A and B are shown apart, each in its own frame.
Chain A
Amino acid sequence: MPILVLGLGNILLSDEGVGVRVIEALQERWTVPDGVSVVDGGTCGMDMLDIIASHDTLIVVDAVKTGAPPATVVRLTGDAVPAFFKGKLSPHQLGLSDLLATLRLHGEEPKTLVLFGCVPERMEVRLDLSPAVAARVPDLVDRVVAELRALGAAPHPNAGAHGDGEYT
């Protein structure tokens, strides 16, 4: 049951890149077991077809707009994920929903879909996250780790990471 953890977003636009920043933090703190791939997808589209197709479970981390206050974290699963991307919430919606639809047409869509989203505070041209969103990155990492544990694919903390991977 290969699992893909995919971070989406444009790191040149501050909070827009939170999904990628979570992937970076995850890789810094944790080592995932065999069968789990962790990929920084940036803002890519069709390029990712092959990567997604080879996994049964897809965990997406992305910036989302839900109308909730900035730095709010959401979790969605199953059919709600493509529907969510179809709606109007993420700037990458066309890329990812098209990819998922294309894979469905080919009978290769992931069986399990989970989305962790974070509402951005600023989307201006700069590399760092806003303090509010940056403060949610450890939480998002923990939630991805918990998700992997629940799937029976518990990651191991890297040397130097504290306790069971909690941030201090």
Chain B
Amino acid sequence: MAQRIVVDPVTRIEGHLRVDCEVDGGKVTKAWASGQMWRGIELILQGKDPRDAWVFAQRICGVCTTVHAITSVRAVENALKLEVPLNAQYIRNLIQGAHAVHDHIVHFYHLSAIDFVDIVSALKADPAATAKLAQSLSDWSMNGVSDFAEAQKRLAAFVGSGQLGIFGSGYWGHPAMTLTPEVNLLAATHYLQAIEFQRRINKVVAILGSKTPHIQNMAVGGVANPINFDSQSTLTLEKLYYIKQLIDEVGDFVRKVYIPDVCAIGAMYADWTQVGRGIVNYLACPDMPLDTTGTQMALPGGFIEGGDLTAGFHAISGFGDPYFEKGVKESVKHAWYQGGKGALHPYEGETVPRYTDWQDDGKYSWIKSPTFYDKRAQVGPLANVLCMYAAGHEPTVRWTNAALSLMSGHLGAPVGPDILHSTIGRHAARAVRAAVLYEELSRQWTLLMENLGKGDFTTFNKPVFPKGEIRGFGFHEAPRGILSHWVVIENGKIRNYQAVVPTTWNAGPRDENDQPSPYEAALLDNPVADPEKPLEVIRTVHSFDPCLACAVHLTDTESRSTYQVKVA
């Protein structure tokens, strides 16, 4: 007989996602993903000056402030057909790339590794054996016996103090935790080191964005960074060289720690490359414009149908590509909004709440369900990496093959890109993306320096709003996947604004044709050893890097620091 489990809430940081699963014979047979809070922040933007939209948009989410700011100005620039100076493009590219690398490191080490790594078991490890293992995986300079012994001491004190804090919600000793104490110590030690490196790369955002956590340098038409090599209050050569140093330090961490760790842990949990496949239509946008119009992009994007990386791939060319613009619709058939008009394009999108209680076959979520040409699509680093791979982007092909080759070595048998359509695959793709972004950050830095060297110090083109109605959209390949903002402007004021966020693509409810979302599909056939402790369900959900703060808005729910697991 089927048992029902409810995991609520499922994100460690912000937001409120509920996942319901029916479990039969130790496997998930049916799943529902639900956003438990109302979304309607876009309503605030109606009537506002489009030049200020990004200031409010970056408040939509606490984790992804930067990405909403960038996407918002792109949407307004697209509506105005406004060109953006090269320096501004490079500076935005550096900010978004640094933010993404920071975000990916935090996701793997601080938010999801403890689904696979048993911190308590790490206390039993032999530091010398751990160092030997670590040195066989990588020549990272902080893989010495003393590094592991010191980290173990610190963890023991922390666990001993009874203040598990961040680790308080871990399923220690769960039968699905199968790493040796030494591997657990290796990962836990790198967890501690990762704290330092994600901080360093985030300094790039702080220096260029003028301030964190909310950047202040964005502007419709460019950036507000004055560049003057003689004035300390502007972007100086000294600051630019410091940025390069930070990029290189984090690049080392990604290449020598993040990639080897993900590949080793992925190989040790090889069964998880066969779990969590779900929707294999993938959507990602091109990003990092190399010209003033966003026609030429450093990182390719597109749509992959049916997991077919050759015949199934259709590229998205650049900002304003009508293929993307025309493909997006959102359905509210299973969401708590007034519907009846079928799936709507974001320009026509409506956000009128209609709550009904939970209905398995009816409405059960505050998240809308986006589709691309009426198909569900998975978004995120896996979608991004597969699209860049399909487009033949050299660094992506190289890093993907390097990661697959490391995993093949650990497994003693060759594995190909097909294993990426999985729970582990989403983690591996995130690490590959971090490595690709590191290389691209170095290149963007060089491009900026070369352009400044030519004497071009322009960072801003002034926007002018026409009478009448204009509309536009901006997209950005954010850490959790494609983010798009859609704006309708009338006489210089915002008439409609919709943000179609990554977690909406992945975590929405069933769509207009009752097709499940990527989360719902990926959970099917997930093993569940103990319905009271559904660690396996959480593994698959976390592999998507859920962030519900913008998919639904955050409110005064009596949040818990542990998951509430109900078995019905």
List residues of A whose CB falls within 8 A of some B CB.
Answer: 10-13, 16, 39-51, 53, 63, 65, 82, 86, 88, 91-95, 97-98, 100-102, 104-107, 120, 123, 125-127
Contact = CB atoms under 8 A, between A and B. Distances in A.
Contacts of A65: 556, 558
Contacts of A98: 12-13, 165-166
B237 interface: no
A48 B13 contact: no
Interface stretch (B192-200, B302-310, B439-447): B192-200
A97 B557 contact: no
B556 A123 contact: yes
B191 to A, nearest CB: 9
Interface of B: 12-14, 40-41, 43-44, 56, 59-63, 65, 102, 106, 110, 154-155, 158, 163, 165-166, 192, 195, 198-199, 202-203, 205-206, 212-214, 549, 553-561
A125 B158 contact: no
B59 A50 contact: no
B110 A47 contact: no
A127 B202 contact: no
Nearest to B547: A45
Nearest to B555: A123
Contacts of B203: 50
A42 B556 contact: no
14 contacts: A10-B59, A44-B213, A50-B203, A53-B199, A65-B556, A88-B560, A92-B14, A93-B561, A97-B561, A101-B163, A101-B165, A101-B166, A102-B165, A104-B158
A46 B44 contact: no
B557 to A, nearest CB: 7
Nearest to B203: A50
Contacts of B195: 49, 102, 105-106
A91 B212 contact: no
B556 A86 contact: no
Interface centre among A16, A43, A97, A107 (most CB of B within 10 A): A43
B214 A42 contact: yes
B561 A125 contact: no
Contacts of B44: 12, 125-127
A125 B212 contact: no
Contacts of A40: 214
A51 B199 CA distance: 10
A3 to B, nearest CB: 18
Contacts of B154: 105, 107
Given A44-B63, A44-B213, A106-B195, 5 more contacts: A16-B555, A65-B558, A93-B559, A94-B559, A105-B165
B555 A91 contact: yes
B56 A12 contact: yes
Nearest to A100: B165
B43 A125 contact: yes
Contacts of B158: 104-105
Contacts of A86: 561
A43 B214 contact: no
A88 to B, nearest CB: 5
Contacts of A41: 213
Top 3 A-B pairs, shortest CB-CB distance:
A101-B165, A43-B62, A44-B213
B13 A125 contact: no
A126 B56 CA distance: 11
A82 B59 CA distance: 24
A91 B9 CA distance: 13
A94 B110 contact: no
B554 A10 contact: yes
Given A45-B14, A94-B13, A98-B166, A12 B60 contact: yes
B41 A125 contact: yes
Interface centre among B44, B62, B165 (most CB of A within 10 A): B62
A88 B561 CA distance: 8
Nearest to A65: B556
Contact of A12 (B59, B205, B214, B556): B59
A42 B199 contact: no
Nearest to B57: A12
A44 B62 contact: yes
A16 B556 contact: yes
Contact of B202 (A10, A13, A50, A102): A50
A91 B557 contact: yes
Contacts of A82: 165
